[in-house]
Amino acid sequence: MMTTTNRPAGFSIFLFVCALAAACGGNQSTTTTVVEEPEEVLIEDIPGVNSLALDYFNDGVRAMNDTPRDYGSAVQGFQRAAELDPDFWEAWANLGLAQMDLGLYLEAAESFRSEMSVISDLVSRGWPVRERPEVYLDLGKAYALAGRVDAAAEAFNAILAADPTNTEARANLAALYARQGQYEQSRSFISDLLEMSQNDVGALNVLATIAKAEGDMNMAEYLWEKCLGEVAGRRASLTDEAQYEDLTEDEDARLRGYNAGRLQRLTTQVSDVQNELGIVAWSDGEMDRAERLFRESVENNPSNFAARKNLAVIYLEYANYGGACEQLAEALALRPRDLDAMLGYGSCNYGLGDPEAAYAAYEAANSAHADSALATQRLGDIAFRDLSDSASALRWYERNLQIRGLSRQTCERSSDRVCAAANSIVEMQNMDQQPGEN
């Protein structure tokens, strides 16, 4: 969810798994996405905050509430707000969240560090602002997704130093070590989690991921099914109306609000687990079950990026190109620069019989990822086969060879299709340029 404020002053086919082992999906404990609000929440005024900065901040919030999200406008709005009001820490917070969705993890980490620096400065100057140690969670996630394991661990441990009972930080540390194959260290954090919260869903999830990594798929599936059972029990408890019977009106409102937040988090956890179980079903050849689980995962959390891509993979496998394009369009709205989703979007459009749209999708992938050999190969194929543009085809094929450290002159035509195609185009061009016989 985009932060508002409480400051009183101032194409290959494969399955997609989560970035860390603690959870999978869109809004998860190892990555951050922006959860859509039922209605737009804007800030009208904050005493002490530059009014123009506030306008830009609200522009950013609106951009994140657009369908699809307008990341360019959002980033610009939050950056401008932070420039205009150096004390506007909320702008840095939201900028970091937007950058996380864009896959700009190191840039997001810098934004979160700026947020912490601004808050620390405000506190030292006596402003009515509290320290926000929870920002270390966002920082840790950003570093983890960027592959900076030590920095991520340092951030998560900083949370535990301030709040030893923080189960999310422990779950992320457990996931971080599991991702590195350091299962003993991971299990030590899981043990602490289970002592603090019996059958903690995050702990069970990491244990399942470790079992999966160790090849014990039966245990992994058992643990994920147990996660679903735990969540179902907690959902029933949170929706039991009996708990509100003897409360005052204010107490009722507060508890309902608290329970609503917990229910949302549980629903997200269900989505993550369903995505993992879908992967297990896929690996077991249970395609119908895999599709159902991925679909239910998306229904439970529309921001579950991994589940949307996995569902698209199923659809591509069975030539449901319309369904694949629908899911990949939503995935790209969440992560516009994701290479696999961009390539998949080109594949589904081509399957729908629209080579121009496919070409545009692969061009976008090449623009965002200039070293993608697959994007250049597909561009060359479409240019030559569907658009009758041999000059562009040759350019893309030669770029493909360059990415792979080859050249048209030195590559092996008999074993390299791109090499053969590029040289055939040159030969045809040479023949066309030869003078006709008298």
* pLDDT tens sequence across 270-318: 999 999 999 999 999 999 999 999 999 999 999 999 999 999 999 999 9
**Which pairs with CB-CB distance under 8 Å and at least 24 residues apart come from 286-289?**
287/314, 287/317, 287/318
Quick one: what percent of the chain has pLDDT higher than 70? Answer: 88
pLDDT higher than threshold 60 for residue 224: yes
Cis preceding-peptide flag for 68 (omega within 30 of 0): yes
The answer as to whether 170 is a domain residue is: yes
When pLDDT is averaged across residues 71-96 and rounded to a whole number, the result is 93
pLDDT at 340: 96
Predicted pLDDT of residue 42 = 57
Mean pLDDT of 355-371: 97
Instruction: Give the burial class of 434: count Cβ atoms within 10 A of its Cβ; 0-12 exposed, 13-18 middle, 19 or more buried.
Output: exposed
**pLDDT for 218:** 93
Q: Label residue 24 by pLDDT band (50, 70, 90).
A: very low
- Whether pLDDT at 329 is above 70: yes
In-domain check, residue 405: yes
Measuring CA to CA, how many Å separate 165 from each of 110, 160, 278?
27, 7, 32
Domain end position, chosen among 160, 179, 198: 179
More confident residue, 251 or 117: 117
Residue 420 in domain: yes
168 within domain boundaries = yes
The whole-chain average pLDDT of the chain stands at 86
Model confidence at 111, pLDDT cuts 50, 70, 90, reads very high
**How buried is residue 17: exposed, middle or buried, by Cβ count under 10 Å (0-12/13-18/19+)?**
middle
Degrees to nearest 5, angle at CA 17 with 13 and 22? 175
Q: How many Å apart are CA 157 and CA 191, to the nearest integer?
A: 16
Q: Are residues 331 and 309 in contact, defined by beta-carbon separation less than 8 angstroms?
A: yes
- Phi and psi dihedrals of 354, rounded to 5? -120, 80
Half-sphere exposure of 282 (CA within 13 A, CB side): 24
pLDDT in tens, 244-282: 888 888 888 888 887 888 888 889 889 999 999 999 999
Domain that holds residue 55: 1-179
Give 41's Cβ-side CA count (13 Å radius).
Answer: 10
Residue 192 in domain: no
Q: Kindly state the average pLDDT of the residues 427-433.
A: 86
> What residue type is 24 in one-letter code?
C
Banded pLDDT at 171 (limits 50, 70, 90): confident
In a domain, 160, yes or no: yes
Per-residue pLDDT of 33-83, as tens digits, reads: 222 333 445 555 566 678 899 999 999 999 988 877 788 899 999 999 999
**CA 302-277-323 angle, 5° bins:** 45
Count of structural domains, the chain: 2
Domain boundary among 179, 200, 235: 179
Look at residue 401 and tell me whether its pLDDT is greater than 60: yes
- Range of weakest confidence among 1-10, 53-62, 153-162, 418-427: 1-10
Q: What is the pLDDT of residue 304?
A: 95
Higher pLDDT, 88 or 434: 88
In 3D space, the residue among 256, 226, 225 whose CA is nearest the CA of residue 239 turns out to be 256
Task: Report the CATH number at residue 367.
Answer: 1.25.40.10
Q: How far apart are CA 365 and CA 404, in angstroms?
A: 17
- Between 47 and 190, residue with greater pLDDT: 190
Give yes or no for a contact between 142 and 100, defined as CB atoms under 8 angstroms apart.
Answer: yes
Q: Which of 157, 179, 201 is the last residue of a domain?
A: 179
pLDDT band at 14 (very low <50, low <70, confident <90, very high): very low
CA distances from 383 to 379, 397, 426 (A): 6, 10, 15
Residue 273 belongs to some domain of the structure: no
Percent of the chain with pLDDT over 90: 60
| pLDDT over 50 (residue 173) | yes
Q: Which of 13-27, 367-381, 414-428 has the lowest mean pLDDT?
A: 13-27
- pLDDT of residue 27 exceeding 90, the answer is no
pLDDT above 90 (res 396): yes
